Structure 1
Amino acid sequence: MAKTKDQEIAELRQAMAALIAENETYKARLEIICGMRPTEYAGFKLKLSTGETIVRNSEGIYASIPECSELEFIVDRDYVIDELVADIKRRR
């Protein structure tokens, strides 16, 4: 038995309503997760003993600023860790 056009439209509306509800649930979960993230750690600025400054913005992107420069060089997290360890060793 073939479906009528009204039945097909009703099924499509029901499917769309389910997708919208799923999307709203997903957005609510993301808001909860973002709300749990500590905002005080969103960004930081750290000056090393060499004069280099390492910064992180709120998106989690790290940059290195040499002592006599205003240029920021994008660096990865491993670079930041290596430089912090080296800085600790230099200070000892």
Structure 2
Amino acid sequence: MSNSRYITDIPDIAIIDTQAQHLDASHYVGIYQFDSGDQISVTAIEGQLYWRGTDSPEIALHRIFNSEFAPDLHIIFNLSPQEIAESLTLIQRGKQEQTAQRVSD
């Protein structure tokens, strides 16, 4: 989708502003598992969806928002916004540490 955008420098985390699309963000929060083994984590923070997974953000959104086209989609459990925020922080910190280590090598 054209209005998705990447956050930080981590390509597999992106957000979408659900308020601009008049969507109920909380409806989409959860961990999605596909029969193919792909997994997508989605949460809502202040009206925006954050997700991370093996699909590109555009494909992930298409599969989630158009679930009638994705019969292999299963929500396996819900995450709280705090849990996802903590996950994002840990991922960012890990990425920064990797970069710092590369610079010091």
TM-score under structure 2 length normalisation: 0.28
Flag the structure with higher helix content. Answer: 1
Query: Which structure dedicates a bigger proportion of its chain to strand?
Result: 2
